[in-house]
Amino acid sequence: MEQHIGFCTNPDGARIAYAVIGNGPPIVMPPGYFVVINPYKSVPEIRNYLDSLARYHTVVMYDMRGAGLSDRKRTDFSLESELVDLETVINHLKLDKVALLGAGMGGPIAIAYAAKYPERVTHLVLYGTYANHGKYLSEEIKTSEVVPKIWTGG
């Protein structure tokens, strides 16, 4: 499929690069790693995976500020800063309701957006991620302490 690359500007003036593939209900993928746009072209496994999603959905992904095609200058690495960038991309593309696919580092961003805008999220898919990175760095915790906070049943 053809990948369409565009740019939008967040409230701080940083330019964020995004890519759109496919047609259908939108699935937005916060960056699970620093760069997501360029591997689409160069890594066959990633291209096949995204193309399979794009058969039935509009897949939206973007490069994290400080990496890839997005602006390089960056001083704020907070979750709040990441959330602003996700909001910027979604609002720029005029997406009313989205499914979020949060993998790796993109999980906390997707969770934060879903918590802030539950009426705009149709589905929240989390893969190989975490809810609270800071807690994992600061102390050893048991899985049973985390699961009730993440899993809501169903």
What is the count of structural domains for the chain? 1
Residues near 97 by Cβ (< 8 Å), separated by ≥ 6? 25, 26, 120, 121, 122
State which residues form the domain around 84: 4-150
* Biggest CA-to-CA distance, the chain: 45
Q: What is the pLDDT of residues 20-77, one digit of tens each?
A: 999 999 999 999 886 678 877 788 888 899 999 999 999 999 999 988 899 988 888 8
Q: What is the CATH number of the domain that holds 126?
A: 3.40.50.1820
Residue pLDDT, tens place only, 64-111: 998 889 998 888 888 999 999 999 999 999 999 999 999 999 999 999
